[in-house]
Every structure is written in C-alpha cells, then in structure tokens.
Chains A and B, each alone.
Chain A
Amino acid sequence: GAVVSQHPSRVICKSGTSVKIECRSLDFQATTMFWYRQFPKQSLMLMATSNEGSKATYEQGVEKDKFLINHASLTLSTLTVTSAHPEDSSFYICSASALSGSTDTQYFGPGTRLTVL
C-alpha cells in the first residue's frame, strides 16, 4: 500500500515552545491530508482536514491559531503546535488520501509522540 511518513517520531519540548510535525506521502500525491490526535486508551480524534493550496478545515473545538496546518505541496503537510502546554501532550497522526481510479483510501503515518514538559 501507499506509504506515509511523519517526522519526528517523538519530540519532547518545554512548555511555551512551538513544535512542527511533518507528514509526507512518499509514493503518491495527496490532495487531502488529515490530522488526528489520540490520547492514551482513546480513539483517534480528527483535528483538521488539509487541502493542498488552501486553508485547512478545523473540527469544532480545535483552535486554528494554536494548531497551524500548512499543506504546501501534494506530498507534504505540516502541523505546528504553537506555545505548547502539557495538555497538548498526545500522539499526533496524519493520514493522506490516495485516489486510484474510483477508489479513495486513507493511509496513515506512524504517528508523532509529543511530550510537553
């Protein structure tokens, strides 16, 4: 299947700093990418939908000024957690939509573990 990478896989930062997470589709072009957050023992929570060349669409309750999303190309989307606080510590996962003919499947990255001290 298609491959999606994330970088970094793990990051530890001090409270108040900003952290950027990259999501790349390695072998296909992704018009749409999705960002999720997952807390321990919970399901994935959709944060935003990112379309190449346009502003991201955020889910209700997700602060767009805190979670900056940039989808600059068909293979790269970035999520920047600005002024991170301990409550932002979570597992962040991206996915990319791969369209092949009439099928459309989401492929997920390996996730980024963010720990804010």
Chain B
Amino acid sequence: LAKTTQPISMDSYEGQEVNITCSHNNIATNDYITWYQQFPSQGPRFIIQGYKTKVTNEVASLFIPADRKSSTLSLPRVSLSDTAVYYCLVGDKGLGNDMRFGAGTRLTVKP
C-alpha cells in the first residue's frame, strides 16, 4: 500500500486559495488518489478523486503530475467553514481495497 505524507497543519485566511500537497512516492499503477474532509465528531466526507492530470468538481481541484508521486488538493476561496482535517488516501480501485489513513492536514481558516 502506498504510504502518504502530508503537512500536519496549514493556516489560511478567508477568500484565499489553499493548496495541500500529498506525497505518495510508491503509488502503484492501479492506485487512485482520493481526498476526504473531516470535521470534528463527524465521518470523513468525500471531496475528490483522480488518477492523473487534473480533476475538478464543484468544491475542489486535484492536480496530479505525470509521475503521480504526489498530488495537490486545491480549495478555491476558502471560508471559515473549510476549517477541517483533510486526508489524502491512495488505493486500488478494486473492490475490497482497504483504506488506511495518514495523519492528515489540519487546515485552519482565519477571518
């Protein structure tokens, strides 16, 4: 299983763009990259998933370079409600793949 490394914490201000990078040097060919957001005392919430290049949805963008050894979650114009822990997971797309969480990145958005 590919191990992930993220910054422990990040601070930002409302309205700024936030980029959180995750390193996964031993990512396997079949592995996809998934990002989750977790608020205190809640289950993680799916944000975005990708395999290569760039993926964008209504809440975030995911940038994956050609070597796929890292990925960057981009949150445009963050607000106070984006304060949460963000997890990057790497795993096989097949059924039965297990999902082990790294330490995550604690994002604090300040007014």
Contacts and interface: CB of A to CB of B under 8 A. Distances in A.
B22 to A, nearest CB: 13
A46 B99 contact: yes
A36 B100 CA distance: 9
Interface string A92-115: 010101010011111111110100
| Interface range on chain B (Cβ under 8 Å from partner) | 20 to 34
| Interface range on chain A (Cβ under 8 Å from partner) | 20 to 34
Contacts of A4: 43
Contact of B43 (A31, A104, A105, A111): A111
Contacts, number: 64
A43 B87 contact: yes
Contacts of A75: none
A106 B34 contact: yes
A95 B43 contact: yes
Interface in B41-86: 41-46, 49
Contacts of A51: 96
Nearest to B106: A41
14 contacts: A36-B101, A43-B102, A46-B99, A95-B43, A99-B95, A105-B46, A105-B49, A106-B34, A107-B46, A108-B36, A108-B44, A110-B42, A111-B41, A113-B41
Interface of B: 32, 34, 36, 41-46, 49, 87, 89, 93-104
